[in-house]
Amino acid sequence: MFDYDAEMRFYQPQFRAACGIRPGDRVLDVGCGSGQSTRDAGRDAAPGVVLGVDLSERMLADARRRTADANVSYLHADASTYAFESYDVGISRFGVMFFAEPAAAFANLRRACRRIVLMVWQPRAENEWARAIPEALGGAFRDESPFSLGDREQTRALLMAAGFDEPTFTAVREPIYYGADVEAAYDNVRQLREPGKLLAERGQAALRKVLAEHDTGDGVLFDSAVWIVEAE
Ligand SMILES: C[S@@+](CC[C@H](N)C(=O)[O-])C[C@H]1O[C@@H](n2cnc3c(N)ncnc32)[C@H](O)[C@@H]1O
């Protein structure tokens, strides 16, 4: 399974700090995946409770396996429509860009959460990883959903239409980490859906070349950029 926690190693401390979770808070983690942000929230919120929600049973099984904290639980549900209880804070690390109907989904989250803190990708043009790897594989990626909240004005309008107050956007630029060396990074990238498909069709040498160009000796790193979006 692709190691998102390793990929996010330079972002997670900043995201956790931005979440500003306090002891006793009730927290909802949307699209929690294997739950690193859920567990961090659990430690910050204790004795408050944290619920991680995800569409993927496979990710949730991994999250449950890694979680020992009694105040953290998981739910298999579609966050865009599920009738949640009330939470002080809704957080999401790259889990809210994939909604089929974003307006309805954020209205649903607005009903559940007093405050939200989201980490989302800035547009593809700002993200070297999202240009360099498809270029190396000689194919354009068709899936633009990871960047669906990258346009600040559109995201601002979307959140305000859902009933949130004026959101704030903090630009953060950090490297993302694909692995300790070229072979580890190659194995990781191969597990991503779109690169995996292109790799099957095209040269593997080209991918190894671009990974080698980004091997810093301290990991294979690509430039990237996110927004941390906060709204009450
Ligand atoms: C890029 S992953 C991020 C996972 C995790 N937050 C992390 O940072 O490691 C996006 C996650 O959002 C989940 N997801 C997408 N749409 C969802 C929805 N409507 N309801 C719940 N989860 C959703 C996916 O199943 C996936 O696990």
Q: Tell me whether residue 77 is in a domain.
A: yes
C-alpha torsion sign, points 100, 76, 147, 14: positive
Q: Which of 59, 117, 174 to mutate to test the pocket of ligand 1 (most atoms within 8 A of CB)?
A: 59
The structural domain count of the chain equals 1
The fraction of the chain above a pLDDT of 70, given in percent, is 94
pLDDT tens-place string over residues 132-146: 888 888 776 678 899
Closest protein CA for atom 21 of ligand 1:
54
Domain that holds residue 58: 4-123+143-175+222-231
Q: Is residue 190 part of a domain?
A: no
Does residue 66 form part of some domain? Answer: yes
Q: Bridge partners of 30?
A: 53
pLDDT along the chain (232 residues), means of 10: 84 96 98 97 98 97 96 98 98 97 98 98 94 80 88 98 97 94 88 70 78 92 95 95
Question: Is any atom of ligand 1 closer than 6 Å to the C-beta of 78?
Answer: yes
* CATH number, domain containing residue 73: 3.40.50.150
Is residue 187 a part of any domain in this protein? no
Spacing, Cα 94 to ligand 1 middle (Å): 7
Residue 68 falls within a domain, yes or no? yes
With residue 68 as reference, give the H or E element that holds it.
none
19 within domain boundaries? yes
Spell out the residues 6+ positions from residue 12 whose beta carbon is closer than 8 angstroms to its own.
5, 36, 37, 40, 93
Task: Examine residue 65 and state whether it is found in any structural domain, yes or no.
Answer: yes
Report if residue 138 sits inside a domain.
no
